[in-house]
């Protein structure tokens, strides 16, 4: 059985994530995913929108994923030693230098191969694109439809909107 490991933040799940995880799964028989801890996300990118455990559950619920774990706060390779993948799948935009990572793995006696996966090009294929789109729509009043305050955002309960629409 070929075990593939993929890692990432997975804060707002989008098609780029799904493409990455399916491509990683296609490399082997089992896909384990390491979801970055909240501390790691804060240090490397931004304050996470969703907490680590919620992100882990969402990722584990995706069809290509067999098991998901929250990464540790310290040594990022400790979980690699623990789970012993045959292949480590890296996204096109992940910061690891392939050669440096391979050297670090070999120094620990880890024999996993590294596979750098391709970019998936879609309208909203990245978390930053999603956030920017939401910001733009909020700024222009296009986020919500209706004629109340906040451009129609007064409907906090979707069932209320359905009643008004006659549904």
For 12-43, b/e burial (b = at least 16 CB within 10 A) is bbbebbbbbbbbbbebbeebbbbbbbbebbee
Comparing C-alpha atoms, which of 33, 38, 76, 91 is closest to residue 58? 33
Q: How far apart are CA 74 and CA 119, in angstroms?
A: 28
Q: pLDDT by residue (tens digit) across 65-116?
A: 999 999 987 888 999 999 999 999 999 888 888 999 999 999 999 999 999 9
Residue-averaged pLDDT of the chain: 85
Give residue 147's pLDDT.
Answer: 56
Residue 77: count of CB within 10 angstroms of its CB: 16
Q: How far apart are CA 40 and CA 6, in angstroms?
A: 16
Residue ranges per structural domain of the chain: 3-116, 127-164
Taking the alpha carbons at both ends of the chain, their separation in whole angstroms is 51
Give residue 152's pLDDT.
Answer: 46
Share of the chain above pLDDT 90, in %: 55
Give residue 124's pLDDT.
Answer: 55
Res. 119 pLDDT band, cuts 50 70 90? confident
Q: How far apart are CA 20 and CA 64, in angstroms?
A: 10
Give residue 95's pLDDT.
Answer: 83
Q: How far apart are CA 154 and CA 70, in angstroms?
A: 37
Stated pTM of the model: 0.79
Q: What is the CATH number of domain 3-116?
A: 3.40.50.620
Q: How far apart are CA 133 and CA 79, in angstroms?
A: 35
């Amino acid at each position: 059985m070929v075990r593939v490991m993929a890692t990432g933040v997975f804060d707002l799940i989008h098609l780029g994530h799904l493409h990455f995880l399916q491509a990683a799964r296609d490399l082997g028989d089992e896909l384990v995913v390491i979801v970055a801890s909240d501390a790691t996300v804060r240090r490397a990118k931004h304050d996470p929108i969703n907490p680590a455990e919620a992100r882990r559950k969402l990722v584990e619920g995706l069809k290509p994923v067999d098991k998901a774990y929250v990464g540790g706060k310290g040594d990022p390779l400790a979980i690699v030693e623990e789970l012993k993948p045959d292949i480590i799948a890296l996204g096109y935009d992940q910061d690891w230098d392939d050669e440096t990572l391979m050297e670090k793995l070999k120094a620990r006696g880890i024999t996993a191969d590294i596979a750098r996966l391709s970019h998936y090009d879609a309208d909203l294929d990245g978390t930053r694109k999603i956030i920017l789109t939401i910001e733009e729509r909020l700024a222009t009043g296009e986020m919500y439809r209706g004629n109340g305050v906040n451009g129609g955002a007064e409907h906090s309960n979707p069932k209320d909107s359905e009643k008004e629409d006659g549904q």
